[in-house]
Chains A and B, each alone.
Chain A
Amino acid sequence: MWKPKTLSLFPLRNWFKYRKDFLLVWLLRGLSAIAGIVILLILGFLLREALPVLEEVGITAFFRDDSWNPGEKSYNLVPMIWGTGLTMMGAVLLATPLGIVSALFCHYYAPMPIASLYRRLIELLAGIPSVVYGFWGLVVLVPLINRLHPPGTSLLAGIAVLTLMILPTITLVADASFAKVPPEYLMGAAAMGLSSWGTIWQIVIPSAKSGLFTGVILETGRAIGETMAVLMVCGNVVQTPDSIFDPVRTLTANIALEMAYALDNHRSALFVSGLLLLGVIIVLAIAAELVDREAS
């Protein structure tokens, strides 16, 4: 069955018929063009700034060099890629089940007043500035981990803080996608005396699958991009970690820490890591769009 995705008020071929709306249409077009162009400009700017070092040492140098030491013309980003990848993966693996379970609780088990209070709390969690999370991590979490296994500033601390930060994203998206599960399914399941567990596992989760997947992609994007909080709790030592108690440095922290004094090729190399981050985010955005399209 054919369904229009959005209604187009002004089909291109006869826009001139709507002379009264001429101004509005072009104003709207102009504004949306600006939003689009800004993103392209950022991408172009990143490319321009990254190009000198890419031309000079080639792309492989960023993966093959001995270490990250831009002063000595060594540009190995691999430890930072590990740092970003591991903190992100750990946080996503922890936050996803937690978020989905708390959305299920909120939607199907909690009494109305508790559910709405809980929802407000989660929204509040999403609104806390990241530096506050970092601050909390630094004064509470890091000393705790230090007692367990020094030095305390570590991959584990980064994962824990990031988990808290991305939890609201997945919870709110999951909650919204559970709200979209047709009530007829739930009525039908109840009318056959099916258990809540069976209903949730076999009917609710599969119907909300694409929404949940989008939520995972969004939280992954947030985890990759987060800078301040991880910078404060991760220790920022450039190394590929051997255990979760080792300090790590993420790509974002690397940029934030070195941008202030970087010159020439060093500066350019930081733009390469920025380009890398943007690339991953673009891939994730495309993945989210494809999942969405698949569902409809």
Chain B
Amino acid sequence: MTKSIHNNLDRHKIAEIQPLMQIHQLSLFYNQKPAFKDVTLSIPQNSITAIVGASGCGKSSFLICLNRLSDLIPGCTVSGHIQLGTLNILSPKANTTALRRRIGTIFQKPNPFPMSIKKNITFPLKEHGVKDSQQRHNIVEQVLKDVGLWSEVKDRLQDNALTLSGGQKQRLCIARTLALQPEILLMDEPCSALDPISSGIVEDLILRLRQKYNYTIIIVTHNLAQAKRIADYTALFWVDKGCGRLIEFAPAEQFFNAPNNELTKAYVNGIKG
């Protein structure tokens, strides 16, 4: 089964990719029960990779492996290989603190810390050794401008972050992650807990981040229209015999217009999923 799925990947197009992160035969188990198995793909640099698929196919589990957040979940084991530059991410010797600074994560539910708006950004900076308070203040202003929040909150930086609206909270979470200058942003359905307008603002922000700063973004979404709007590359995960599999990974245009796999075709055309 594994073989036949891999044969369906379009090897020619994939070969042109400048890979930033290479994932080989990655599997994740919750108490020996696999969430997804044998995922092999390369994440292209400076682009948005969308991961789509029905609920429970291991998309989010896949994402948390990439910066070892899976370590935090009791009973969760990961096998395979993930290479980021010279760093072997899954090696027990890898420094997860440094790794997670390089790979930032945005969660589905906005989770600002229960402290002031400003401190939400300055506290992680302090933790990562930015000692100069003027420098920290400049970064706060810079990242809040980047996410379009500065004009909305510049007069109330000392207010508790929990008083912000849902969309503002999510943009604050993106801002505090950007403040650490990661190379890769992982986003786990960043818009699905937001209303349509906030969702649109965050979506525009994601596109702007890619264009202006050349971020590499991996976004999990079950909103196919959203993937179509923003993705450069798209991967489809699907459940097969109770376990998630990578069905197809291709440049977005090909993925949506001329997919190789029958399942992708059915999914894209709204017949399945």
Q: Which residues in A have some Cβ–Cβ distance to B below 8 Å?
A: 112, 182, 184-195, 198, 202-203, 206-207
Contact = CB atoms under 8 A, between A and B. Distances in A.
Interface string B73-116: 01000000000000000000000111111001101010111110
B195 to A, nearest CB: 16
A196 to B, nearest CB: 10
Interface in B210-257: none
B115 A202 contact: yes
Contacts of A194: 124, 127
Contact of A188 (B74, B97, B99, B173): B173
Given A190-B72, A191-B105, A192-B177, A185 B100 contact: no
Given A192-B124, A207-B114, 7 more contacts: A184-B109, A188-B111, A190-B72, A193-B101, A193-B128, A194-B127, A202-B113
A112 B74 contact: yes
A187 B177 contact: no
B176 interface: yes
Interface residues of B, number: 27
B41 interface: no
19 contacts: A112-B74, A182-B111, A184-B111, A185-B114, A186-B72, A187-B69, A187-B107, A187-B111, A188-B107, A189-B113, A191-B67, A192-B100, A192-B176, A193-B96, A193-B128, A194-B124, A195-B97, A198-B127, A202-B113
Nearest to A207: B114
Interface of B: 67, 69, 72, 74, 96-101, 104-105, 107, 109, 111-115, 123-124, 127-128, 173, 176-177, 180
A203 B109 CA distance: 17
B223 to A, nearest CB: 21
Nearest to A190: B72
Contacts of A185: 111, 113-114
Contact of A193 (B99, B114, B176): B99
Residue from A185, A186, A193 having most chain B Cβ neighbours under 10 A: A193
Contact of A192 (B114, B115, B180): B180
In the A-B complex, the 7 residue pairs with the smallest Cβ-Cβ separation, listed nearest first, are: A193-B100, A184-B111, A191-B105, A193-B97, A188-B111, A193-B101, A198-B127
Contacts of B113: 185, 188-189, 202-203
A206 B101 contact: no
B115 A206 contact: yes
Contacts of B109: 184
A187 B173 CA distance: 12
Given A185-B113, A202-B113, A192 B107 contact: no
A202 B116 CA distance: 12
Contact of A203 (B114, B176, B177): B114
B236 to A, nearest CB: 25
A202 B113 CA distance: 9
Nearest to A203: B113
A194 to B, nearest CB: 5
B84 to A, nearest CB: 14
B191 to A, nearest CB: 17
Contacts of A112: 74
Contacts of A206: 114-115
A64 to B, nearest CB: 49
Contacts of A193: 96-101, 127-128, 180
B100 to A, nearest CB: 4
A165 to B, nearest CB: 33
Contacts of A195: 97, 127
A47 B114 CA distance: 46
Contact of A191 (B74, B104, B127): B104
Nearest to B177: A192
A187 B188 CA distance: 13
Nearest to A184: B111
A65 to B, nearest CB: 51
Nearest to B114: A207
Contacts of B69: 187, 190-191
